[in-house]
Amino acid sequence: MPLVSIVDVRKSFGANEVLKGVSLPVEKGDVVAIIGRSGSGKSTLLRCVNGLETHDAGSIMVDGLEVGGAKTDMRALRRHVGMVFQQFNLFPHLTALGNVTLAPRVVEKMGEGRARELGLEMLAKVGLAEKRDAYPSQLSGGQQQRVAIARALAMRPKALLCDEITSALDPELVNEVLRVVEKLAGEDMTLILVTHEMRFARDVGTKLVFMHQGRVHEQGAPKALFAAPQTAELQQFIGASFK
């Protein structure tokens, strides 16, 4: 059984059907890169996986828990699924360390000392141990995003969802964030990434998913798909992206 299994998921906003039956199995240790045009439903799919949006039909299972199921404790589920956002969404009133330790403290009821230890470990993992006392406003975009990754990792998630986490960054800051993600992939973390970084998707991804008009239009091994796209849409999309 896959760690995350998405089966025939549908989702509409009013009359606008955004997901039209999406199916996607994600095995433990997979690095799934989701690409596709703006508005094709990538973010919506990702947000359905941890229940920030509720899907209308189909099923999403994460580690044996059904997302949005009547008997499912959504908080238990979210403890296993981390999320990193395009706009970082750090808590502005807390320091870097405060951001990372908040959930361990209030959700996991971890003691002050242990939470601090864990927080410092996570900040070290993203290379920001020395910025522990800085507030988000004192950090660059790339640093903020790395703190956001550390914040998600502090919950020891089984899978991490990343929605265009480099899109809001200046070009010269993109790499420091991608390197952190690459390191996580190397540590066997299960990752589902929506990304516009085609090279990164090709080199780090274990699976490429091309979404088009609310459906998975094409999927497979990244290198093979980039080398030989099967559909005209993907071909065109790749052509436009690599130019």
Partner 1 sequence: MIYKLQFADLLPYWDVLARGFVFTVALTVVSTMAGVLVGTLGACARTFGPRWLAGLLGAYVELIRNTPFLVQLFFVYFGLPAAGLKLTETQAAFIAMTINLGAYSTEIIRAGSEATPKGVIEAGVSLAMTRLQVLRHVVLKPAFQKVWPALASQIIIVMLGSSVVSQISAEDLTYAANFIQSRNFRAFESYFVVALAYLLLAVLTRAILRALGSRLFPKA
Ligand X SMILES: Nc1ncnc2c1ncn2[C@@H]1O[C@H](COP(=O)(O)OP(=O)(O)OP(=O)(O)O)[C@@H](O)[C@H]1O
Residues in contact with partner 1 by CB under 8 A are 50, 52, 75-76, 78-79, 81-83, 85, 87, 89-93, 102-103, 106-107, 135-137, 148, 151-152, 155
Longest alpha-carbon distance in the chain = 56
Q: What per-residue string of b and e applies to 165-184 under the rule 16 or more CB within 10 Å gives b?
A: bbeebeeebbebbbebbbeb
> Taking CB within 5 to 8 Å according to partner kind, which of Mg ion, partner 1, ligand X, none is near residue 18?
ligand X
Stretch that binds Mg ion, among 35-43, 65-73, 150-158, 175-183 (CB under 5 A): 35-43
* Cβ 37 to Mg ion shortest distance, Å: 10
* Cβ 200 to ligand X shortest distance, Å: 16
Q: Does 43 bind ligand X (CB under 6 A)?
A: yes
* Cβ 40 to ligand X shortest distance, Å: 4
C-alpha torsion sign, points 185, 190, 193, 198: positive
Q: Does 78 bind ligand X (CB under 6 A)?
A: no
Stretch that binds ligand X, among 38-46, 67-75, 122-130, 144-152 (CB under 6 A): 38-46
* Cβ 8 to partner 1 shortest distance, Å: 24
Q: Does 55 bind ligand X (CB under 6 A)?
A: no
* Cβ 6 to partner 1 shortest distance, Å: 17
Which ranges constitute the DSSP H helices of the chain? 42-49, 74-80, 96-106, 112-125, 141-153, 171-186, 198-204, 222-227, 232-242
Residue 90 structure tokens: 């750090």
Contact 26/203 with Cβ under 8 angstroms?
no
Q: Say how many residues touch Mg ion, by CB under 5 A.
A: 1
Q: Does 43 bind Mg ion (CB under 5 A)?
A: yes
C-alpha distances out from residue 71 to 59, 75, 77, Å = 14, 12, 11
